[in-house]
Amino acid sequence: MGIIDIALFRTLGDVLMGTVVVHAIKEKLPDSHIRFFTDPVYTGLLENNPEVNEILGATSYMEMYDKRFTLPKADHTCKLAMANHYDTCWHHNPETANQHMIDFYANRANLDLKITDYTVRFHSTDAQLEAFKALELPDKYIVLHTTSLLETKNWPLQYFNHLAIMLSKTYGLPIVQIGGPEDSPITGTTSLLGKTPIGLTNQVIKHASFYVGVDSGSAYLAGMAKIPTFLIMGASMGKPQVAGQLGPLVGPVGDNVHYIEPTRLQDRNCMPIPCINHCALQKPCINTIMPQVVHEAIKNIVKEIQ
């Protein structure tokens, strides 16, 4: 197969998950020429990726089709997700309800792909490494990230403040906060809010002792870095809760990734993923996870900092 177009008009985390699909395609069809269409905001995630041959900015299928008029015709198109989030509600289909979202995207590629490696691909540059060195961060530090695009996936700021205090006492390390300029700062941390573009953020995460955050795109970078990664989950599910009730599952996959989740309410309206935009019970379950619980989960894994 020659030219393969991939279309994925969604978030930072979704585009990073798309790189897993790209890798699977290249393993199966090593001579294929991959054109990746995504929102211009996220094209930087694919730069320097040797498995992506062309990166093309587009915000919708309509815009993608307009661009394709001036390009060589594709041999196959992988419509991984629409801009409309309802197109990715794989949990409504019994055949896909127990899949990880990466598997869902791989199936939508319609190339009979089998995912064996769930590691996302992001390639920093030498310039980004030099920019990281210029930050002059300590040799050892902890990274915290507080905010996703959806309120139901965000842990209360006061909980992060309490957790930061406990982590500082336990490990004696400085804490670095990453995120956007609109994020609220955690008391007593070194704030890099709004100061690190994605390539530099990747370096900050990569060199950390461990990472703690919510379900967001930067969590995939932590998973890729193979550092201990602790994710506080609310309106999304990282691991099975009940035997036979497996999914839907999201988030980075790896032995270094540890999910801290609430006990799901036994209510027909309490369903991870559907409640992302609005909690039907008006009781965001992530708020039931106490800082002490997160602290203990981290201490059980990270005994000491080498």
Average pLDDT, the chain: 87
CA distances (Å), origin 82, targets 11, 62, 86, 108, 218 = 11, 11, 8, 11, 22
The DSSP result for 133-152, as a single string, is HHH---SS-EEEE---SSGG
Rounded Cα distance between 261 and 215, Å, is: 11
Q: Which residues contact 76 (CB under 8 A, 6 or more apart)?
A: 1, 3, 4, 5, 110, 111
- Is there a domain that residue 118 lies in? no
Query: Which pLDDT belongs to residue 1?
Result: 72
Rounded Cα distance between 40 and 55, Å, is: 9
One domain, residues 151 and 295: yes
One domain, residues 10 and 54: yes
One domain, residues 209 and 67: no
Rounded Cα distance between 230 and 234, Å, is: 13
One domain, residues 250 and 293: yes
Question: Exposed, middle or buried by CB within 10 Å (0-12, 13-18, 19+), for 158?
Answer: exposed
Question: Exposed, middle or buried by CB within 10 Å (0-12, 13-18, 19+), for 72?
Answer: exposed
Q: Which residues contact 22 (CB under 8 A, 6 or more apart)?
A: 6, 34, 36, 49, 51, 52, 121
Structure tokens at 216: 């967001």
Closest-CA residue to 226 (of 116, 119, 124): 119
One domain, residues 93 and 177: no
One domain, residues 178 and 297: yes
Query: Which pLDDT belongs to residue 41?
Result: 92
Query: Which pLDDT belongs to residue 83?
Result: 43
Q: What is the mean pLDDT of residues 138-152?
A: 92
> Model confidence over 177-187: pLDDT tens digits?
999 999 999 99
* Structural domain that includes position 15: 3-108
One domain, residues 239 and 177: yes
> Model confidence over 7-17: pLDDT tens digits?
998 889 999 99
85 pLDDT band, cuts 50/70/90, is: very low
Structure tokens at 161: 């403040």
Q: What are the phi and psi torsion angles at 136 (to 5°)? A: 55, 50
Total domains in the fold of the chain: 2
- Is there a domain that residue 122 lies in? no
Rounded Cα distance between 214 and 38, Å, is: 24
Query: Which pLDDT belongs to residue 197?
Result: 93
One domain, residues 101 and 207: no
> Model confidence over 111-121: pLDDT tens digits?
999 898 999 99
CATH code at 268?
3.40.50.2000
pLDDT at 39 exceeding the cut of 80: yes
Query: Which pLDDT belongs to residue 71?
Result: 94
Q: What is the mean pLDDT of residues 165-179?
A: 97
One domain, residues 100 and 158: no
One domain, residues 161 and 19: no
One domain, residues 289 and 154: yes
Q: What global pTM score does this model have?
A: 0.90
One domain, residues 245 and 186: yes
CA distances (Å), origin 129, targets 81, 135, 200 = 32, 10, 7
